Amino acid sequence: MPELPEVEVTRRSIAGRIAGAQIHGVLLGGVLRWPLNCAPEDLLGHRVQAVRRRGKYLLLDLDVGVLLIHLGMSGRLSFAHQPSSELDKLDKLGKHEHFALQTSLGTLRLKDPRRFGAVVYAQSEQDAVIRKLLGRLGPEPLGADFDLQAFQVALARSKAAIKPGLLSGKLVVGVGNIYACEVLFQAGIHPETRCCDLDHLRMERLHQAIRAVLERAIQRGGSTLRDFSDAQGQAGHFQLETMVYARAGQPCRVCASTVCVIRQGQRSSFFCPACQKP
């Protein structure tokens, strides 16, 4: 599943290219996770003003309303400029493509083989459909609202194990499985340690590690485990430098102990038993 770094990399790869574009056509394919919430023709003539991200959601701000895009388990966006002779034509959708937004600057397409992605329109972020999806998300890990003291208070109140606690999106939004494993390694915390059992020093290390790992992953273009690429077709490279994720049975890059894997809530947790203490 594309995680926060992959979604942010995608956002950056389209934001400067589509801003100011006028919508000329909309094409829908197979049923996605949620309905578009408007007739496709209702979007015609509107302009894309900016592209933002909230957690793992992309938000295309229009002159009226907002388009929310989620990449689901296997989705990716592509954006291609078109010659002026093609601007009035919207080609048919390709294999596994379920949405295309043809604009004056090019066409944005969503390809999602497993159909867990979504494109949803709302008149504003206050609409019930948007509040339902975004209203319960935790603080942005790379934003100013990811406050250390508030994070420590939230951890102290939770009896959950720290790994599923990070994945829940309540303590902080967007830390998926790959990056939770890497964050806990960098912070020296065993994935089964309860949130409330962490002392303030380890909470501070965890807070710093979340920012550092996600920022590094974005710099490296995200992780391409199967077929992720940004909207210009560029693959990510963070997976080439993971310390523990997907390295079970291999020596730890720090201490040479064998990296282990356990199952937590149907997810694989990779860790070094020597570097990460309960």
User: Which CATH number is 84's domain given?
Assistant: 3.20.190.10
Strand partners, 189: 277
Name the helix (H) or strand (E) containing 103.
Answer: strand 97-103
- Predicted confidence (pLDDT) at residue 200 exceeds the cutoff of 70: yes
Residue with tokens 């995200």: 222
CA distances from 274 to 196, 205, 269, 271 (A): 22, 17, 15, 9
Residue 141 lies in a domain: no
* Tokens describing residue 104: 């004056």
The mean pLDDT value of the chain amounts to 91
Residue 278 lies in a domain: no
Tell me the pLDDT tens digit for each residue of 134-163.
988 999 999 888 999 999 999 999 999 999
Q: Are residues 59 and 167 in the same domain?
A: no
Domain limit, last residue, from 77, 107, 134: 134
Residues 6+ apart with CB under 8 A from 154: 170, 171, 195
Domain that holds residue 166: 148-271
pTM over 0.75? The answer is: yes
Residue 140 lies in a domain: no
Q: Please report, rounded to a whole number, the percentage of residues in the chain having pLDDT higher than 70.
A: 95
H helix intervals, the chain:
4-18, 128-134, 148-156, 162-167, 177-187, 200-219
Q: Are residues 87 and 162 in the same domain?
A: no
Tell me the pLDDT tens digit for each residue of 25-82.
998 887 777 889 999 999 999 999 999 999 999 999 999 999 999 998 778 899 987 6
Indicate the DSSP class of residue 64.
S
Q: How many structural domains is the chain composed of?
A: 2
> Taking residues 220-231, what's their average pLDDT?
79
Specify the pLDDT at position 84: 45
Residues classed as catalytic: 2-3, 56, 267
Q: Are residues 89 and 186 in the same domain?
A: no
Domain limit, last residue, from 134, 166, 193: 134
Kindly calculate the radius of gyration of the chain based on its CA atoms and give it in whole angstroms.
Answer: 20
